[in-house]
């Protein structure tokens, strides 16, 4: 079955008849949840069932549950994680194990609600100039440490039956602007980026899914990475990532154009799937129509990504919580 080249969302807590009809007709690759879609465990499971019934298959459902400042699921439905992610590296040699446990517990929470993907790990490098919207979501500033923690985060997801989405390719840490509102520019050479921002993505290039960054690398290409064929080639060839590439949200203000236009431009540049969030029903329909079906290459990557979903390994939740608390020297979540 050929998928529509879009991951999209829903307006509320359950699908409307119009949404069900649209999704049945277009068959989006998957769906994403936001806080407005989440009220209770039973309701969230029912909404996930709505999505899967509409497309007639066990489609991917993802969310932004980074385990730090960005969390769509909140207490009492999920743990409220602390400290911010930029503090985790302070655990030193124990950081990888601590992050594995944090995300293994997150995966358990997500899968229990019918959510089988998460937009993490985020392996952007933190710098002194990194914009505040991103900085305390970063794991560290050293590429090797970020790579190791990112691998632990990915393994925590996979062992919990949840597909990780590595982001923001090929690196967002140099951004001094918030791409939700403005278009950031980076003025480093390809050689400098190879040894720094690109390195964690190269180390994790075997992961099943990745997300683009909405920023311009001025010395490489004048277009934002999400809609740049040159940057997509770089991600594929120099970074070596052959998983499914989804855009960051195409409604973010870093990109100029209608969502339908941007979806088409991103796919033409080499992205496999356009991520469209927070639009009206009419806008969502236009994006789905403009995107159309996946290319042959994108469909093959989508099939490979979905095939990596495995039943979760057995988890002793109390033991995992106790070990994580000990590694981090105290309480690590509320709720």
d(CA 266, CA 158): 28
Mapping DSSP to helix (H, G, I), strand (E, B) and coil, where does residue 122 land?
strand
Q: How deeply is 235 buried, as exposed, middle or buried, from its count of CB atoms within 10 A (0-12, 13-18, 19+)?
A: buried
Q: What is the DSSP letter of 94?
A: G
- C-alpha of 255 from chain center: 18
Contact, 183 vs 216, CB < 8 A? yes
d(CA 181, CA 18): 31
Strands (E) in the chain, as ranges, are: 4-8, 28-33, 60-63, 80-81, 117-118, 163-169, 185-186, 209-212, 216-217, 244-246, 274-275, 333-334
Catalytic residue ranges: 180, 248
What distance, in Å, lies between the first and last C-alpha atoms of the chain?
41
Burial letters 248-268, b for 16+ CB under 10 A, else e: bbbbbebbeeebbbbbbbbbe
């Amino acid at each position: 079955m050929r998928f529509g080249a879009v991951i999209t969302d829903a307006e509320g807590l359950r699908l409307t008849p119009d949404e069900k009809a649209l999704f049945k007709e277009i068959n989006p690759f998957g769906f994403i949840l936001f806080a407005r879609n989440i009220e209770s465990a039973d309701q969230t499971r029912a909404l996930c069932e709505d999505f899967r019934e509409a497309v007639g298959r066990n489609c991917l459902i993802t969310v932004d549950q980074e385990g730090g400042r960005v969390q769509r699921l909140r207490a009492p439905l999920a743990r409220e994680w602390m400290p911010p992610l930029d503090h985790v590296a302070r655990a030193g040699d124990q950081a990888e194990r601590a992050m594995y446990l944090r995300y293994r517990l997150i995966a358990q929470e997500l899968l229990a609600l019918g959510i089988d993907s998460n937009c993490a790990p985020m392996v952007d490098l933190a710098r002194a100039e990194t914009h505040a919207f991103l900085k305390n979501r970063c794991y560290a500033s050293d590429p090797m440490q970020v790579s190791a923690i990112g691998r632990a985060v990915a393994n925590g997801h996979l062992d919990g039956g949840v597909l990780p989405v590595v982001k923001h390719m090929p690196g967002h840490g140099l951004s001094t602007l918030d791409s939700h509102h403005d278009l950031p520019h980076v003025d480093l050479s390809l050689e400098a980026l190879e040894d720094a921002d690109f390195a964690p993505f190269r180390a994790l290039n075997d992961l099943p899914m990745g997300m683009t960054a909405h920023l311009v690398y001025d010395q490489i290409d004048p277009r934002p990475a999400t809609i740049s064929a040159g940057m997509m080639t770089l991600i594929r060839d120099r970074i070596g990532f052959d998983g499914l590439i989804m855009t960051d949200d195409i409604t973010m203000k870093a990109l100029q154009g209608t969502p339908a236009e941007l979806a088409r431009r991103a796919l033409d540049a080499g992205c496999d799937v356009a991520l469209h969030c927070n639009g009206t029903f009419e806008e969502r329909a236009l994006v789905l129509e403009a995107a159309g079906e996946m290319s042959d290459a994108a469909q093959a990557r989508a099939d490979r990504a979905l095939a990596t979903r495995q039943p979760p390994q057995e988890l002793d939740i109390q033991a995992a919580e106790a070990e994580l608390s000990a590694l981090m020297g105290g309480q690590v979540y509320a709720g």
